[in-house]
Amino acid sequence: MTKGTKAGLSRETFLAAQHTANVLQELANYLLTEKGFQYALLGKINSDPLEQRFGWYRQLAGANYFISVRQFLEAERKIRFKSLVNVNKLTMTEVTDIFREPEGHKAKINEEGDKLLACLSSDNLCSESDVQLSGEEGVVYYIGGYIARSLLKRTKCKSCSSLLAKNRSPPNLELLEDYEEGSSKKEEFCQLLNRGGLVTPSDHVYLTCMHVLQLKAELFDDDYTQELFLASSFPRAVFVNILTKKILNTSASDSIFSQVCVSSHSFQAFVPSIAAKFFNCMSKNFVQSINDKIHADRKRGNVKESSS
């Protein structure tokens, strides 16, 4: 509470508490008198299921706080579909067939990806020694660990864990001129957030995440490419499509796509998932920045109206 404010609840909170108390009293009288209940556990009546539902909506929308109507409807369909899968006991093969993208969608995604790729200044990515980030290494390192942890939960191959994560050693990629300083910064950042459950991403996951960030910068630095990308019907799929093609055209292709585990599983199969998950994080930040700008413009407009 800041200086000058009065103690007590806000008007909205007070009205909500008053309404809740009155309704619970009427509900208890109804259950005990008309329905003949011996007792009523009013503490069991809460908004947890509703809050859980909206929590699912935000998670399925890429952790965006302000989700769109389309994201809301898509999330609702996914939640309902999950309940149908549990009831009907569908196999993963049957579920995969249901969610398989139509050939028309794949062709459109590939077409939009080629169109955007032609607008970029280069059709390849920097090599490992040329990747430069300005103070974002720790954040990329942390998100890479989150993505690796998420993929480790899904994969059933124990050998693939070496492709996705490693125990506690920092990445040995020489991505900065002063490698020791860069590695210590990444380690220091993660140690500040670590409570014992963080996963250290592998070099391949870390490098892929930085290439994702590099591609995002290329797409959003130019107003035309940004507008063209945001107009896409499948922005995340188009982004993954472009990244895969750019990696194939660079020297990073051998260091990323040629990696296999003991069971001969290729790291290339994880690249689309890594790119999609990192894209979700970037989308959340992008939407937040747009919302902040809109609210700031509204505040400036209100200030001008009040002053005039």
Distance between CA atoms of residues 78 and 299, nearest Å: 37
Same domain, 186 and 259: yes
Same domain, 72 and 109: no
pLDDT at 267 over 70: yes
What's the number of domains the chain is made of? Answer: 2
Domain span including residue 66 = 48-88
Which candidate, 196, 205, 131, places its Cα nearest to that of 168?
196
Same domain, 69 and 145: no
Is position 124 within any domain? yes
pLDDT at 6 over 80: no
pLDDT 10s digits, 211-229: 888 888 888 888 888 888 8
| pLDDT value of residue 30 | 93
Same domain, 197 and 280: yes
pLDDT 10s digits, 40-67: 888 888 878 888 888 888 888 776 677 8
pLDDT 10s digits, 159-209: 888 888 876 444 444 444 444 454 555 555 555 555 556 777 888 888 888
In DSSP terms, 201 is beta-bridged to: 165
Same domain, 207 and 65: no
Is position 121 within any domain? yes
User: Under a CB-based contact definition with an 8 Å cutoff, are residues 202 and 148 in contact?
Assistant: yes
Same domain, 68 and 214: no
Mean pLDDT, residues 259-273 taken together: 85
| pLDDT value of residue 27 | 92
Is position 4 within any domain? no
Same domain, 217 and 183: yes
Is position 276 within any domain? yes
Same domain, 136 and 267: yes
Using pLDDT thresholds of 50, 70 and 90, give the confidence band for residue 29. very high
| pLDDT value of residue 22 | 92
Same domain, 213 and 255: yes
Same domain, 156 and 219: yes
Mean pLDDT, residues 122-146 taken together: 67
| pLDDT value of residue 176 | 43
Using pLDDT thresholds of 50, 70 and 90, give the confidence band for residue 26. very high
Residues 6+ apart with CB under 8 A from 205: 144, 147, 148, 164, 165, 270, 274
Average pLDDT, the chain: 77
Higher pLDDT, 2 or 304: 304
Place of tokens 């991505």: 175
Is position 150 within any domain? yes
Hey, what are 165's tokens?
A: 């994560």
| pLDDT value of residue 2 | 47
% of the chain surpassing 70 pLDDT = 74
Write the CA distances from 16 to 5, 21, 23, integer angstroms: 21, 9, 11
Position 56, amino acid: W
| pLDDT value of residue 85 | 76
pLDDT 10s digits, 70-109: 888 888 888 888 887 777 777 767 766 666 666 667 888 8
Is position 117 within any domain? yes
Same domain, 71 and 183: no
Same domain, 54 and 196: no
Whole-structure pTM value: 0.59
